[in-house]
Structure 1
Amino acid sequence: MKVLVVMGSPRKGNTYRSVRKIEEIMRSRGDVEFEYLMLNDVNQSPCSGCLVCFGKGEEYCPLKDDAPAIEKKMHESDGVIFATPVYGMNVSAQMKIFIDRHSYIFHRPRFFDKKALLLSTTGVIGHREVLDYLQLVAGSWGFEISHKVGIITREPLPAETELENEKKLQAAANVFYSALLNKKRWTPGLKDLTMFRVQKAIFKNLADFSPADYNYWKEKGWLRPEAKYYTDVPINPFYNAVSWISEQILKRKMGKEILENQK
């Protein structure tokens, strides 16, 4: 199994050491290969917001940096660990640039066969908010979130907090290792299904404005009336009905807006 670590910390400090501990535990359980992608050391330019990747496709991005190679590394892995310290109640600058440079994946998700582990370190607070944000990002990109773990690293670190951190990292490593062995995709929840239905309603009307998004969804078969989700997995009937209603409401609203704009 191959694990890619997307390291948002600009140095090999608490976040890095926490992931290395997870690596140590996972290696003790079986054959696992780790690759560390230190975002501070790669060439990634801040997104300029030109929207070319949305409309025409990411291959037309005017920024020539390592973003395509980074995406390739994610595809080549079985699982990805997204790790970042808390900076200003959010992810680090390096992690935010990484997310922004791959923001087209929010529109065209693609990592449905990958598992993700989310890790955040903080002196006192902010890790819950950061983990929620990373869950939104990785989940929207198609990753199955296996586990998320927040570590307190203030100095001096009380003995009980250090012990709690050890237990958290042990649990994270074990859950992630088991998830990588299990190739089966879990059943999506109501929020996941609603996200799919909302995007389906939106991108169905964007053939002219955003052809890259429209063509991607059409090629995947996601625009077909019978398409319920990105992947062929069991769907809760009640969740499916509720998300379908959301799609119909949005479709009617967009239809009215399109008619109004044509007047």
Structure 2
Amino acid sequence: MIKKYTIFLSFISVVLAQISMSDINKLSNSQLDLIKKELKSKEVPISDSSASIDIDPVVPGSVTIKSPSSVSTTYFGYNYFKRDINFFDNVPTPPDFKLGPGDEIILSLWGETNSRENFVINKEGLIYYENIGFINLSNKNLKEAELVLVEELSRIYSTLKDKENQTELMLELGKLKSINVYFSGQIETPGIHLIHPFSDIFLAIVQAGGVKQEGSLRQVQLIRNNKVISTVDFYSFFTDG
């Protein structure tokens, strides 16, 4: 059982400061008992809101400091993932972004021929262009897809390859299909999440709510087709870039 003792050291110091050692030696036992009794009657109780010192008799000499306010420990790095992301619409298309099923592209022609059309890549990675047929754009970046379209559309628009009377072609991204990513381990919200296709591994974890403090930031694995593609040490990333 824990016993709590009231501290009245400050009051004792004031009293003893007024009595010299020679005076104390002259006091009789009855006078000393009277002083003790008076000191005891003037103990100042400690309020519940202040910190208290508890002495546990089971473990001699142990002292526990109790404070009314609890202090939570925050580990370095975990708060980096606690943020909102709303800038993807203003980000230019990464040059290595690969087109895939569900992505919308905007095809513009100007010069000798002028047109602007939207296409959605189907499940097989194809778009259908009238008078030409299906064109495969799967797993190609925008620059590669433009070269394919120039080659295919030049069959009906010869000026695409005519340097004197030229028709220009430009390809842009429209609406993008989110990708399904499965998160497991010490993640705040494990399971399948729809992740923006421009995301890297850091932004993907942000969209999944971040990492629990029980999880390590030194070994985050990216797995594809049951193979570890890469292992990321975020502490190295945070400190060294």
TM (normalized to structure 1)?
0.20
- Give the number of the structure whose residues are more often helix, by fraction: 1
Decide which structure has the larger Cα Rg and report it. 2
Instruction: Report which structure shows greater RCO (CA 8 Å, sep ≥6).
Output: 1
Q: Quick check: which one's strand share is greater? A: 2
Query: What's the TM-score, normalizing by structure 2?
Result: 0.21
